[in-house]
């Protein structure tokens, strides 16, 4: 990948992140002042100022989450185009039903005098997504009344989060650091919380070739017979299915399992706040006398 293509891909990534964060100023810095936006059955939106007014109006009562898979980037001199397959979700702050649009977009970018790239023209063919019976039957609007109190320790995690993921080697040194995304939601008549964990995040995953990291899901539910949560992680990229038992211990939620080699493993949610939380994975080879940090994540809420 040449530097120009990398810079354009980073611009697309930054656009998604700034939009999700509601950072209008950051989005505006990614376009030319005379940028033009074309959408079906609407007159052209001309200029950065017009785009700013529309975006601020939208964000006043909604969260916006967008994801995209870049299909093609071509650079010719000081002009380039980027073809992206997009999905945009507009989520009412009042808690109403999100509006989801998906489709293709083509953006024209221009190299600036300082060698950076800015969006100059954008056209999208996004249309409203039809009902998805799998998603509709899985989703729940909140916890089931039967075990509401037992389910609520995981309740503050519902929503979407940006991640800073750190992996450690056996000596405790940082082996790898990468961004990610994590999405939690009520499911199965509100009797479970399902999450989807994506590292690296979707804007950084190539449309073709081997996956750069895991894209997996967990289903967790309260089991009154053992007064604990059953939580099972599914990692299809690496062929993993790991069952855990989870219990609240003080201010932390601790998921525990014994691995195939006898090592005790714990995944721990801690420092849970409305806009952030911490997660760590630790392992013990001496039945819990000592623990080794293998991975940790710091999560920042998108919405």
Asked if residue 107 has pLDDT above 60, the reply is yes
Asked if residue 92 has pLDDT above 90, the reply is no
Asked if residue 100 has pLDDT above 90, the reply is no
> Could you report the per-residue pLDDT of 241-288, keeping only the tens digit for each?
999 999 999 999 999 999 999 999 999 999 999 999 999 999 999 999
pLDDT on residue 131: 57
pLDDT on residue 132: 66
What is the Cα gyration radius of the chain?
22
pLDDT on residue 233: 98
Band (pLDDT 50/70/90 cuts) for residue 203 is: confident
Q: What is the mean pLDDT of residues 39-68?
A: 89
Give CA–CA dist 279/271, Å, rounded: 8
pLDDT on residue 39: 87
> Could you report the per-residue pLDDT of 109-156, keeping only the tens digit for each?
999 999 999 999 999 988 876 656 787 788 888 888 888 888 889 999
Higher pLDDT, 253 or 92: 253
Higher pLDDT, 243 or 202: 243
**Domains in the chain, CATH or no CATH each:** 3-128 (3.10.450.50), 136-301 (2.40.128.20)
> Could you report the per-residue pLDDT of 213-246, keeping only the tens digit for each?
999 999 999 999 999 999 999 999 999 999 999 9
* Cβ atoms within 10 Å, residue 133: 8
The share of the chain scoring above pLDDT 90, in percent, equals: 74
* Cβ atoms within 10 Å, residue 207: 10
* Cβ atoms within 10 Å, residue 184: 20
pLDDT on residue 130: 60
pLDDT on residue 117: 97
Give CA–CA dist 211/201, Å, rounded: 11
CA dihedral in degrees (22, 163, 129, 89; nearest 10)? -10
The pLDDT mean for the chain works out to 92
pTM of the model: 0.64
pLDDT on residue 246: 97
């Amino acid at each position: 990948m040449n530097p120009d293509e990398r810079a354009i891909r980073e611009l697309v990534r930054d656009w998604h992140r700034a939009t999700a964060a509601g950072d209008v100023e950051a989005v505006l810095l990614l376009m030319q002042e005379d940028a033009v936006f074309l959408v079906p059955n609407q007159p052209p939106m001309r200029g950065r100022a017009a785009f700013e007014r529309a975006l601020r109006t939208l964000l006043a009562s909604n969260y916006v989450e967008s994801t995209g898979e870049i299909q093609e980037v071509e650079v010719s001199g000081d002009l380039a185009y980027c073809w992206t397959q997009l999905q945009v979700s507009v989520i009412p702050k009042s808690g109403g039903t999100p509006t989801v649009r998906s489709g293709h977009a083509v953006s024209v970018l221009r190299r600036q005098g300082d060698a950076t790239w800015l969006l100059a023209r954008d056209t999208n063919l996004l249309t409203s997504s039809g009902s998805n019976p799998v998603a509709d039957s899985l989703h729940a609007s909140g916890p089931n009344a039967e075990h509401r109190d037992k389910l609520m320790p995981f309740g503050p995690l519902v929503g979407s989060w940006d991640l800073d993921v750190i992996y450690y080697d056996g000596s405790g040194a940082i082996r790898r650091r990468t961004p990610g995304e994590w999405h939690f939601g009520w499911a199965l008549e509100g009797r479970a919380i399902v999450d989807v964990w994506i590292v690296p995040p979707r804007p950084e995953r190539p449309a073709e070739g081997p996956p750069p990291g895991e894209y997996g899901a967990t289903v967790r539910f309260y089991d009154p017979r053992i007064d604990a949560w059953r939580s099972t992680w599914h990692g299809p990229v690496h062929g993993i299915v790991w069952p855990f038992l989870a219990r609240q211990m003080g201010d932390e939620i601790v998921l525990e399992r014994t691995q195939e080699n006898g090592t005790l493993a714990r995944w721990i949610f801690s420092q849970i706040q409305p806009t952030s939380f911490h997660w760590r994975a630790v392992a013990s080879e001496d039945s819990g006398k000592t623990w080794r940090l293998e991975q940790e994540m710091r999560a920042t809420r998108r919405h």
